[in-house]
Amino acid sequence: MSDLSHYRDDGAAHMVDVSAKDVTKRRATARGVLRTRADVVDRIASGDLPKGEAIATARIAGIMGAKRTPDLVPLCHPLPISGVEIDVTPADDGSGTVEITATVRTTGRTGVEMEALTAVTVAGLTLYDMIKAVDKAAVLTDIEVVAKSGGKSGDWTREGQA
């Protein structure tokens, strides 16, 4: 188990001091799934929902969400995000799922996993909001980091990922 040096003895929550870390290019990709019904996925794909066009709205909300990460996650450091890409992909196999992936880049002292995860969850919540009038029982699920690069700990890819 990894043990970090910046531990506070009293166990109190604090924003870890990263000023000794190097400024390097960093990238993280996260992913999540919205699970609903196949007919709802069709309506997402066609933009035929009570609140209107779903995919563009989710993508933009996710990009904006990435920028709000330090406002939401108390111990996250503010970071100068240098790029965000989000894909919202309705399954065309009748599985009733929509896959969301987000890649965030920075040149900074800490990684951007939380920014990528926040982008995915905010995009997912936005989709949820747009379909909840037609499916109360949707589930936002399997939100995880799939790859990261840069920083001292180096590159990492989740097992089973291409």
Which residues participate in the annotated binding site for substrate? 75-77, 114-115
Is 22 among the residues that bind its own copies (CB under 8 A)?
no
Q: For residue 5, what are its two tokens? A: 């040096």
How large is the angle between the packed helices 113-131 and 54-72, nearest 10 degrees? 130
> Which residue stretches of 21-112 are H helix?
38-46, 54-72
Of 56-85, which residues contact its own copies (CB under 8 A)? Answer: 56-57, 59-61, 63-68, 70-85
**Which residue number, 93 or 114, has a Cβ lying nearer to its own copies?**
114
- 124/62 Cα distance (integer angstroms): 8
Site mask for its own copies (CB under 8 A), range 26-55, x = bound: ------x------x-------xx-xxxxx-
As measured in angstroms, the least distance from the Cβ of 31 to its own copies is 10
Binding-site residue ranges = 75-77, 114-115
- Choosing from 9, 39, 48, 129, the catalytic residue is 129
As measured in angstroms, the least distance from the Cβ of 96 to its own copies is 14
How large is the angle between the packed helices 113-131 and 38-46, nearest 10 degrees? 100
Q: For residue 57, what are its two tokens? A: 């709205």
